[in-house]
Amino acid sequence: MKEKKLIKAHIIPDFMYSGMKEEDDKNIFLEVTYNLDKNTRKQRKIQTGIFDKNILCEDCDNGIIGGQYEKYAQNSMYGKNIDPEIAPICKNYKNPNDGFEYSICKNIDYGKFKIFLLSILWRASITDQKIFKDVDLGNSHEESLRRIIFENMIPNEDEYPIMMTSFMRTENSLKNFIGQPKRIRFNDGLNGYVFLINSIQFMFYVNSINHKLPIYLKKTMLKKSGEMTVLHLPNGKELEFLKLLLNK
């Protein structure tokens, strides 16, 4: 097996930080950690995102992850030059019973987008960067995700399902922040990890494929049809939602 030189690989790609840089310094980002018990959060400035020079070679990082999955995510959802032909088509709704708002997005490339997001989860697990210290998938899940990513094995819907919620419509939108990912156990027995990146909360569920998924997850998770439901948290309820989610 040929050894390859490792490079400085970002755990979360730079383009997801759009709008997160301080105006007076384009190389400075803000990172936030939170304590839901005390309703407190801490923030600090960090340089050029979060990277690790000990996990990926150039072919794996730029060629496979960057060339296949990150390129799609950037061109379809992030940045200023979004391709309208591959961009998600979203329609907003409001539940008349409780006023809860949500968006149903279609035209998503299920395989590319799901593997792109799972690559972030995998990188967070294999790195030793402090902010990702709570992300530990274990050898079995790390190997499973490694194969999915590098062998382009498109997972089933109920295999590592992903759900997204948005803080964009709340007063405390958590914009300009990278949250410290947390390992969680949901009330229904599911395990997973929560990542907060620039007003969007990504929830990764990590269980055996035989674990029965709750109805709310089946309705909102990323689907092979290219559809996904994004929940918009109501104003003033963001911390309450986080506490409920984490079963505090």
Is residue 200 a contact partner of residue 19, using CB atoms and an 8 Å limit? no
Share the mean pLDDT of the chain. 82
Give residue 148's pLDDT band: very low, low, confident or very high (50, 70, 90): very high
Q: What is the number of structural domains in the chain?
A: 1
Q: What percent of the chain has pLDDT over 70?
A: 77
- At residue 173, the pLDDT reads 54
Q: pLDDT tens, 68-107?
A: 999 999 999 987 788 999 999 999 999 888 778 899 999 9
CA gap 64, 100 in Å, rounded: 39
Tell me the DSSP string of 203-246: EEE---TTSPPPHHHHHHS--TTS-EEEEEPPTT-HHHHHHHHT
Query: Which strand (E) or helix (H) includes residue 53?
Result: strand 51-57
Identify the residue whose tokens are 């210290």.
133
| R_g over Cα of the chain | 18
The gap from C-alpha 123 to its chain's centroid, in whole angstroms, comes to 12
Which one, of 78, 15, 30, lies nearest residue 176 by Cα?
30
Q: Is the pLDDT of residue 22 over 50?
A: no
> For residue 44, is it within any domain?
yes
0.75 exceeded by the pTM?
A: yes
> For residue 13, is it within any domain?
yes
Mean predicted confidence (pLDDT) in 17-44: 56
What are residue 40's DSSP bridge partners?
35
Running DSSP on this structure, what letter comes out for residue 101? E
> For residue 1, is it within any domain?
no
> For residue 199, is it within any domain?
yes
Question: Residue 48: left if φ>0, alpha if ψ -120 to 50, beta else—which one?
Answer: left
Cα distances from 124 to residues 24, 134, 154, 181, in angstroms, run 29, 9, 20, 9
Please tell me which residue, 144 or 38, carries the higher pLDDT value.
144
Beta strands 200-205 and 191-197 are antiparallel
Amino acid at position 152, single letter: N
Q: Is the pLDDT of residue 216 over 80?
A: yes
Give residue 23's pLDDT band: very low, low, confident or very high (50, 70, 90): very low
Give residue 223's pLDDT band: very low, low, confident or very high (50, 70, 90): very high
Q: What is the sign, positive or negative, of the torsion defined by CA atoms of 150, 151, 154, 159?
A: negative
Cα distances from 209 to residues 55, 161, 215, in angstroms, run 27, 10, 16
- At residue 21, the pLDDT reads 42
Q: What percent of the chain has pLDDT over 90?
A: 47
> For residue 31, is it within any domain?
yes
> For residue 53, is it within any domain?
yes
> For residue 105, is it within any domain?
yes
Q: Is the pLDDT of residue 50 over 50?
A: yes
- Residue 36's domain spans which residues? 6-245
